Amino acid sequence: MKHIVSIDQCSAEDILRILDRAELFEKNPNRHLLEGKVVATLFFEPSTRTRLSFETAVNRLGGRIIGFSDASTSSSTKGESLKDTISMVGNYADLIIMRHYLEGAARYASEVSRVPVVNAGDGANQHPSQTLLDLYSIRKTQGTLYDRTIAMVGDLKYGRTIHSLIEGMSHFRPRFIFVAPEELSLPEEYKQFCREHDLPYTETKHFDEEVINNCDILYMTRVQRERFTDLEEYERVKDVYVLTNAMLSDSRPNLRVLHPLPRVGEIAYDVDDNPKAYFIRQALNGLYTRQSIICEVLG
Ligand code: ASP
């Protein structure tokens, strides 16, 4: 039985297999491969794209969905442990897709579950299905995953999509530019990961032409309000970087702007009509990639 808890469990070969299968789903997403299967989506934290694209993926594959998108309607509010919830849902469903606010919750669920568990985001830790759709989007727009310079901008401390993407890209000789204010800088463990894997990186607080004109992928992120214990600190950093269309004028022709979404001000709306804006299409790629992920764990 396979779980997908963290992107570091996927080799380059695993990643490429998932992306290649996702390409087939892009050509034809309606294939009845999950006939008779029940998939549970357990969302203990809010979500729009991740839950809806996973659920669309199951529907287009002919499976059925159970679950909750609002944990306040589940027995966790009565004090039920995650262990009991997971054991119960494993009685009903063939696969559990779970988002939880605690780091490590997905790993724990995978240890107590009798059916495969896919991590749809655990606290500030990991978001492997997002990374696979990010890699799909990078390969599709660049023609390759290899030798790309990726600027990661915004909340590098709490952004789980950042943490997963650094590990996911590590197989493909990336160069990173980390752009964050002091308070939101990348945790030391990920910098150490880069050094251990010979991944060149630079760090800066300045989001300017020097960054934008020297990368292939500009990966913008939202400041993760829900992770702050001090909301005054959030107010100080929340609008620190805003990408506007004018800032892209001298960027590389192949540059694409990615964002895991939702955006809350860090990409101005005047960027949307620029052909380099890819974040809406990126979210559609999530459907094909998640179809492929489901087949990977249930196949
Ligand atoms: N949707 C992404 C996540 O769940 C990014 C974000 O919320 O800012 O991590």
Instruction: Give the percent of the chain with pLDDT over 70.
Output: 100
Q: Which of 50, 85, 221, 289 is catalytic?
A: 50
**Residue 99 annotated as catalytic:** yes
CA dist., res. 291 & res. 245, Å (int):
33
Q: Which of 127, 148, 171, 222 is catalytic?
A: 127
Of 198, 204, 141, give the one whose Cα is nearest residue 172: 198
Query: Which tokens in the block code for residue 91?
Result: 């009685």
Closest-lying ligand 1 atom to the alpha carbon of residue 221: 8
CA dist., res. 272 & res. 98, Å (int):
31
pLDDT mean over 17-34: 97
Terminal Cα distance for the chain, rounded: 10
Quote the ligand 1 centre to 36 CA distance (angstroms).
31
Pocket of ligand 1 (CB under 6 A): 121, 127, 160-161, 222, 224, 260-261
Chain mean pLDDT for the chain: 97
CA dist., res. 260 & res. 50, Å (int):
10
CA-based angle 126:61:262, to the nearest 5? 40
Quote the ligand 1 centre to 74 CA distance (angstroms).
22
Buried-exposed string 261-277: b where 16+ CB fall within 10 A, e elsewhere: bebeebbeeebeeeebb
ipTM: 0.97
Query: Which tokens in the block code for residue 88?
Result: 């119960």
**Residue 236 annotated as catalytic:** no
Instruction: Give the percent of the chain with pLDDT over 90.
Output: 99
Quote the ligand 1 centre to 35 CA distance (angstroms).
30
pLDDT in tens, 58-74: 999 999 999 999 999 99
Quote the ligand 1 centre to 133 CA distance (angstroms).
13
Please determine, for residue 1, whether its predicted confidence score (pLDDT) is greater than 80: no
Q: Which of 3, 41, 49, 148 is catalytic?
A: 49
Please determine, for residue 232, whether its predicted confidence score (pLDDT) is greater than 90: yes
**Residue 32 annotated as catalytic:** no
pLDDT mean over 227-234: 95
pLDDT, residue 299, reads 84
For residues 169 and 299, which has the higher predicted lDDT (pLDDT)? 169
**Residue 78 annotated as catalytic:** yes
pLDDT in tens, 126-147: 999 999 999 999 999 999 999 9
CB-facing half-sphere around the CA of 187: CA atoms within 13 A:
12
SS (H, E, C) the chain: CCCECCHHHCCHHHHHHHHHHHHHHHHCCCCCCCCCCEEEEEECCCCCHHHHHHHHHHHHCCCEEEEECCHHHCHHHHCCCHHHHHHHHHHHCCEEEEEECCCCHHHHHHHHCCCCEEEEEECCCECHHHHHHHHHHHHHHHCCCCCCEEEEECCCCCCHHHHHHHHHHHHHCCEEEEECCHHHCCCHHHHHHHHHCCCCEEEECCCCHHHHCCCCEEEECCCCHHHCCCHHHHHHHCCCCCECHHHHCCCCCCCEEECCCCCCCCECHHHCCCCCECHHHHHHHHHHHHHHHHHHHHC
